[in-house]
């Protein structure tokens, strides 16, 4: 079948992908992405921070042929994770981020589901098996979601799935930027789709929206300043000068994504709807601060938050309460300041100082009364 009509084989794969719930499916070749050299220079300048796994896999990321011998095609898939069109972003960053005084935290939209690495495995395996059946004997394929050693955004742009925006995330005209990417690498030769072209124009809303200036220039991100990096990838203390910028965020940051004007065309996703976790929309910060290991595992063990473990979540929660909490949370922070984990204790101590500083600086607070 493959020899007779490459177009027919690709059309069958794309039809099967849609039937499985994927929102987009594009095909590109397995030649190294043109951005590979830029990626290497980015690593050399240390802007990836502590993400050492990027360095360890730089060869495979720069050349998909090192991942699967004989690979000829890469099938790129998009999965929409927008839970509601009312939350697609108005173009104003942080629109859904609560402001002080509040004890409500913020979790990035993509993480308000059961772990997508696991939930997307079933449809991906089914599609990969379909590809093998079409290719016949000798065909080999592997699939990956997010954690695979591929420059997935660059390959997705080359496959016509979307274009890399100035915030370095992928944008699709009918989905905005609220979607996951997944790939199937295969030895089956398929007709590549035409690449998508950048459509940011003169817009710079994402750059202006970034709370820390992590998007240092169009298409350039210093991960060490990114709030998503600080709350997810950084394992140690959050730099003091960056803690106030976290606001109430405890996992990720959507500001640059929410600012994108292409979101006005975004629509509600369907494949992941059964895996929504409404309890992650506006988590109660004080309740999170008292979690023990068992309760953390029970609540978050099957979600993306499991990645940062209890120590990482409590670190982030302490910072969030230091930014948006008031004197009512001081007893809980004082308890956390005695946590046996130094990382948690130090951030709780910082939060206490922040709240105390706000209390003493409020007009009329602790002012001498009559007879004093």
Helix, strand, coil proportions of the chain in percent (round to 5)? 45, 15, 40
Which pair of structure tokens corresponds to residue 338? 């005695």
Backbone angles phi, psi at 284, to 5 degrees: -80, 115
Three-state secondary-structure class, residue 246: helix
CB atoms within 10 A of CB 231: 25
Active-site annotation holder among 87, 115, 146, 208: 146
Beta bridge partners of 25: 77
How far is residue 79's CA from residue 72's CA, in Å, rounded to a whole number? 23
Q: What is the DSSP string of 185-238?
A: EESS--PPPPPP----TT--HHHHH-TT--EEETTEE-GGG-HHIIIII--SPP
Q: Is 146 a catalytic site residue?
A: yes
φ/ψ of residue 157, rounded to 5: -65, -40
- E strand or H helix that includes residue 336: helix 330-336
Give 227's contacts (C-beta < 8 A, 6+ positions apart): 211, 212, 214, 242, 245, 246, 249, 252, 253, 255
Q: Assign 99 to helix, strand or coil.
A: coil
Compute how many other C-beta atoms are within 10 angstroms of the C-beta atom of residue 124. 22
Residues annotated as catalytic (active site), given as ranges: 146
């Amino acid at each position: 079948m493959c020899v007779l009509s490459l177009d027919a084989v690709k059309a069958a794969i794309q039809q099967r992908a849609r039937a499985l719930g994927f929102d987009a499916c594009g095909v590109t070749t397995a030649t190294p992405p043109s951005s590979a050299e830029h990626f290497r220079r980015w690593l050399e300048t240390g802007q990836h921070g502590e993400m050492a796994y990027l360095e360890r896999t730089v060869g495979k990321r720069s050349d998909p042929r090192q991942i699967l011998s004989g690979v000829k095609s890469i099938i790129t898939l998009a999965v929409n994770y927008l839970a509601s069109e009312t939350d697609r972003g108005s173009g104003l960053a942080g629109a859904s981020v609560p402001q002080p005084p509040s004890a409500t935290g913020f979790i990035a939209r993509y993480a308000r589901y059961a772990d997508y690495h696991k939930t997307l495995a079933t449809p991906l395996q089914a599609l990969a098996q379909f590809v093998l059946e079409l290719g016949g004997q000798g065909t080999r394929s592997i699939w990956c979601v997010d954690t695979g050693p591929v420059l997935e955004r660059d390959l997705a742009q080359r496959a016509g799935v979307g274009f890399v925006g100035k915030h370095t995330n992928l944008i699709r005209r009918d989905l905005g930027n609220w979607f996951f990417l997944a790939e199937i690498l295969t030895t089956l030769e398929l007709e590549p789709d035409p690449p998508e072209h950048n459509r940011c124009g003169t817009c710079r809303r994402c750059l202006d929206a970034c709370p820390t200036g992590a998007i240092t220039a169009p298409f350039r991100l210093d991960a060490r300043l990114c709030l998503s990096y600080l709350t997810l990838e950084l394992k140690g203390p959050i730099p003091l000068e960056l803690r106030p910028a976290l606001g109430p965020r405890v996992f990720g940051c959507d500001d640059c994504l929410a600012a994108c004007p292409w979101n006005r065309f975004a629509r509600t996703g369907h494949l992941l709807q059964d895996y929504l976790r409404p309890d992650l929309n506006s988590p109660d910060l004080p309740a999170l601060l008292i979690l023990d290991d068992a309760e953390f595992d029970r609540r978050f063990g099957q979600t993306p938050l499991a990645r940062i473990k209890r120590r990482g979540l409590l670190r982030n929660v302490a910072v969030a309460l230091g930014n948006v909490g008031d004197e009512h949370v001081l007893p809980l922070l004082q308890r956390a300041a005695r946590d046996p984990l130094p990382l948690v204790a130090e951030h709780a101590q910082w939060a206490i100082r922040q709240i105390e500083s706000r209390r003493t600086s409020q007009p009329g607070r602790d002012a001498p009364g009559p007879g004093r």
